[in-house]
Amino acid sequence: MAYGFSYKPAEPLAETRSIAELMDRIKTLEVQSGAGGDPNRADSEALLGGAPDPAARIPVSEAFELYVSKIAFDDQYNKSEAQRRSWEKTKRTSITYFIEQMGDLPLSDITRDKALEYRDWWVERMQPQDGDQKPVTPNTANRHIGNVRSLLQRYYKHIGAADFEDPFRDFYFSGKSEAKRASITDDWVRSRILVPGLFDGLRVELRVLIYLLIETGARLSELVNLRAEDIRLNDKVPHIAIRPEQNRELKTEDSRREIPLVGVAEIAMRSCPEGFPYYYDKSTLVSANLMKAFRQRKLLPSSDHVIYSFRHSFEDRMLEGGLDYGLRCALMGHKNNRPEYGQGGSLDYRRSELLKIAHPVQAALF
């Protein structure tokens, strides 16, 4: 670094594209050694790639632990404990795939050839020869390769290596997944789910969450983590406010919103006016419990349907009900690609529009 270079091992330096840089390093050695003198051995080893580079010899597994504990601190700062676990689990899965296929290599050994070999393995998984093996989608392959790429990029940036060249550069599968979202029809919801006594035996919090999912379109994680101050039942327009907090972040900035409570959602929310402290930050547990309850009662129209399908159903109802595009984006927490003017209408306006598509409520339901 004192001579204006960053360290590179001898093999990359010897590649054709680095000849000019190699000559610059040799000239630097000649200048510092003086007329007729031999260059200093330590300087020669460092400039010509003969000295070991401990930072680059760290294996993938150790680099990942450093990534989780220090390098990616900002990524985790505003996450809740459950969000941190989910974040780390996804990243760790990607790193595990790489180590299982390529070995726990030192980072400096992950060359372009190694990256190509790993890419080819994902290609085989996307087009399996075994007819019984389910093909991996391009998005899945891109995500796992991207997590390895991110580890390399962030690690080398962390140690101050300015000339790092990504071995995974330009790797991206552009094929589209054929998977389509599953939505639950209005008729199914009204005839099979909004049935009095159907969910007797479930905890009251779970029953309330079912009705909120149906009539707000909110994500389960957003509902489970509502705080008492986010539930505004005594306002002129009863509503919930979905907001980030210090130890929990929203999926996107556009997810911050206020949703009027109409139909079954308003009535149900009054049973849990303080929120769901028992299930706070446990949306995975709630999802598992609800899936079990729905399967036991045969309430899922097909194997493609899940609890998240209620969110898709809510979006479809708004579209079919003629609600304005900007309002639909505001209520779903989606980014609005139109120029933004205002904030999606008042709560009075939102409520009047949602009442147009609200499911009828049977008195016996409560």
- List, for residues 280-322, the tens digit of each pLDDT value: 988 889 999 999 999 999 999 998 899 999 999 999 999 999 9
What is the pTM (predicted TM-score) of this model?
Answer: 0.65
Provide mean pLDDT across the span 86-112.
93
Q: Which domain holds residue 223?
A: 186-365
End-to-end Cα distance, the chain: 73
Q: What is the mean pLDDT of residues 11-35?
A: 78
CA distance 83 to 79: 5
Q: What does residue 8 show for φ and ψ, rounded to 5 degrees? A: -135, 140
167 within a domain of the structure (yes/no):
no
Pick from 105-119, 176-190, 244-258: least confident: 244-258
Name the band, by pLDDT with cuts 50, 70 and 90, for residue 200. Answer: very high
Residues 87 and 15 in one domain: no
Is there a single domain that holds both residue 43 and residue 123? no
* Average pLDDT taken over every residue of the chain: 87
Quote the tokens at residue 61. 């597994």
pLDDT for res 52: 64
CATH number at residue 222: 1.10.443.10
Say if 99 falls within a structural domain.
yes
Same domain? For 32 and 82 the reply is no
The answer to whether residue 165 sits within a structural domain is no
Percent pLDDT > 70 in the chain is 89
Same domain, yes or no: 211 and 294: yes
Judge if 89 and 27 occupy the same domain. Answer: no
**Same domain? 203 vs 344:** yes
Same domain for 356 and 303: yes
Judge whether 163 lies within some domain: no
Q: Note whether residue 150 is domain-resident.
A: yes
Same domain, 206 and 319: yes
Kindly state whether residues 214 and 349 are assigned to the same domain.
Answer: yes
Domain for residue 123, yes or no?
yes
Residue type, 330: A
Token pair, residue 117, equals 């070999």
* The predicted structure's pLDDT at residue 40: 83
Q: Are residues 44 and 62 in the same domain?
A: no
| Domain termination residue (choose one: 139, 158, 177) | 158
- Identify the pLDDT of residue 338: 60
Residue 278: per-residue pLDDT: 93
175 inside domain? no
Indicate if 43 and 69 belong to the same structural domain: no
Confidence band of 251 (pLDDT split at 50, 70, 90)? low
Tell me the mean pLDDT in the region 175-200. Answer: 85
Looking at residue 176, its pLDDT comes to 65
The confidence band for 99, taking pLDDT boundaries of 50, 70 and 90, is very high
Number of domains in the chain: 3
Q: Is residue 178 part of a domain?
A: no
Does 247 share its domain with 328? yes
Tell me the average pLDDT across 74-87.
85
